[in-house]
Amino acid sequence: MSKVEKFEDLKVWQSGLSMSIEIYKTLANCRDYGLKDQMCRSAVSIPSNIAEGFEKEYNKEFIRFLRISKGSAGELRTQIYVAQGIGIIDNTLAEKLLDQCRHISSMLRNLIKTREERF
């Protein structure tokens, strides 16, 4: 495993960034500005909090921001269900986005556990 020297090296950050971009593109023409804004904020919060915590350079702070990021992933999953339920996102895309969110959440959980046990 290669050494992580910057937050951009973290696979979970890369996945979060990709999903944020996908959410922004998916909702580009959405007219429900309230839900669109909330979903975009939740999505961008995931990689942003990973980056912010990493830059703090203290393990406890990093873990705290990873937990915030994990919470944002849960928020986004809920918002995807709402968007699916009201027809903004079709079922196929919703399932794809939900799977991505679950995967990111799992990666965050594993990273938190590793940081708690080894550092």
Task: Look up residue 66 and give its two tokens.
Answer: 């990873």
| pTM of the complete model | 0.95
**CATH superfamily ID and name for 7-118:** 23S rRNA-intervening sequence (1.20.1440.60)
- Residue 22: exposure state from Cβ atoms within 10 A (0-12, 13-18, ≥19): middle
Report pLDDT digits (tens) over 12-54.
999 999 999 999 999 999 999 999 999 999 999 999 999 999 9
Taking residues 56-80, what's their average pLDDT? 98
Taking residues 96-116, what's their average pLDDT? 98
Q: What confidence tier does 1 reach under pLDDT thresholds 50, 70, 90?
A: low
Q: What is the mean pLDDT of the chain?
A: 97
Q: Which pLDDT belongs to residue 21?
A: 98
